[in-house]
Amino acid sequence: MKKKNIGDSIQRFGRTLLLPIGVLAPVGMILGISGALVQPYMMERFAFLANPNLNAILISIRSIASVVFDNIPLLFAMGVAYGMSKRDKGIAVFASTVGYLTLIVTMNVWLTLTGHMADPEVMTQLGQISVLGIQTMNVSAAGGIITGLIAAWATDKFYNLELPTAFAFFSGKKSVPIITIGLMILIGGTIPFIWQAFVFLLSKMSVIILSAVGPFFTAAGERLFIPFGLHHVWNAMFRFTEAGGSYVIGGKTFVGVIPALNEVLFNQGPTSQYWSLMPSLTRFMAQQQMLVTLFMFPAIALAMYRSAREENKKEVKSMLVTMVLTAMLGNVTEPLEFTFVFIAPLLYVVYACLVGIGAVLLSFAGVAIGYIRGTIFDFGIFGLLYEKTNWIFLVLIGLGMAAVTYFVFRWAIVKFNIKTPGREESQNLDSTLLKEKRYPEIAKLVVEGLGGKDNIVNVDNCITRLRIDLSDVRKVDKSILEMSGTSGFFFPADKHIHIVFGPQVEFVRNAVDDEIRNN
């Protein structure tokens, strides 16, 4: 039971990271567009960008968007608290906010009392940073994550705390932020003593990640963690911690790939001497995803279509085209990956290795396309708009990897008779309910297929899947679930099911909540 609870907690933690990361992605696109259009080289190319009014608007947009990235740890504190708490999520988020403020102030006090407070001009080189106007230790996103976990735990533990009558005013919900503050004072006073050891371990890991074959492990690892919903945890490790390296840019030290990439991409620009860092940073980022969404996915879909039974090809084509477009336009890959990961896990491992090999080739070719997402829009913004990105090599390597991927998948599907979409005699490929956005009907089938509302313990969702805790998995009727239009479902843990609906999952989840509440 304890092992199961730990597994469930890790699963839940993985999906909590989606909220802050989900905010970073679109804001990063806005920051990228505005940042690119105010660069001197871009204004030389397009004279209208030098218009004072337009330039002022773009700079203002960049300044507004950049505030999100200046407070990444706070975003993680709130996001983790919201996702991990099971009780009052609002109280958890409030407690995480005051808890994070307490953490950075406590570390500020420790630095002052011990005489370790650095001069502001050199503080970043000594592992210190200014957050919300407070100079403190640079614990980056890890500080926010720790705070979020503490706030969530305190919420669930002390949500109904009863105190003696004299202190009754501070009982219940009001006790949660108070307790969180106390705990964060203790943690803030302890972190400075253990942080060096933690940084040392992450730095040792960075030796592998930052090596010539590092992109293989980051890209292949992300694909392998996707079925378990833990790829966000994997990505956050090298994107926001010392595992991704430390970089000195303009006299300031940036920890992790994303903070360094933000500085070079949005502030320094292609004319800066630091632009030479781009290939070493972007090799862990969007270009890996673009290799998948823009090149390998169409190849996989084509292999599946060519391998399908003739009578199923029409429906298969419609479904596969939707999945490919979902990846190319929305950066969502799970629907297509889930069509073969559980019926052909070895093929999925081969696929992950192919992605890793492609990522290494992009690195050797000096491709420098940032940011996080791998959509066709990001390719246009960060690949074509910026100079010195070597985007042509992404196209050439992508086409080569697409050809290899197609032949590997076509051979494996036929050779081992893998039941990819369209290869079964009786197929349930009808996604009409989802296409027509008939969410109440979908919800009714989901609830019925899961054994009724009394069998459903908790309903949650990530970007593409419903994640539902059940009382008894034996009550699940798979045939009913298949009628809902899902592209797949599986049981990653005892009494827990994932049901894939793609980017429309949040609307399905809301309808499921309504179905449970109203019936």
End-to-end CA distance of the chain: give it in Å, rounded.
Answer: 31
| Joined tokens for residue 38 | 């105010």
**With helix as H, strand as E and coil as C, how does 224-249 read?**
HHHHHCCHHHHHHHHHHCHHHCEEEE
Q: Quick one: which of 417, 395, 415, 433 has its CA closest to 343?
A: 417
Report the C-alpha gap between 297 and 139 in whole angstroms.
37
Distances in Å between the Cα of 120 and the Cα atoms of 3, 106, 258 are 46, 18, 22
Q: Give the whole-angstrom CA distance, residue 92 versus residue 80.
A: 9
Catalytic residue, candidates 462, 463, 481, 499 = 462
Given a contact cutoff of 8 angstroms between Cβ atoms, the answer to whether 124 and 137 are in contact is no
In 257-377, DSSP assigns E strands to: none
CA–CA dist 461, 510 (Å, integer): 10
Strand arrangement, sheet containing 496-500:
456-461, 465-470, 496-500, 488-493
β-pairing, 496-500 vs 465-470, is antiparallel
Angstrom distance (rounded) from CA 32 to CA 378: 9
What is the DSSP secondary-structure string of 305-334?
Answer: HHHS-GGGHHHHHHHHHHHHHHHHHH---H
- Of 510, 509, 487, 489, give the one whose Cα is nearest residue 499: 489
Amino acid letter, residue 429: L
Query: Known catalytic residue: 353?
Result: no
* Whether the Cβ atoms of residue 144 and residue 73 lie closer than 8 Å to each other: yes
| Residues involved in catalysis | 462
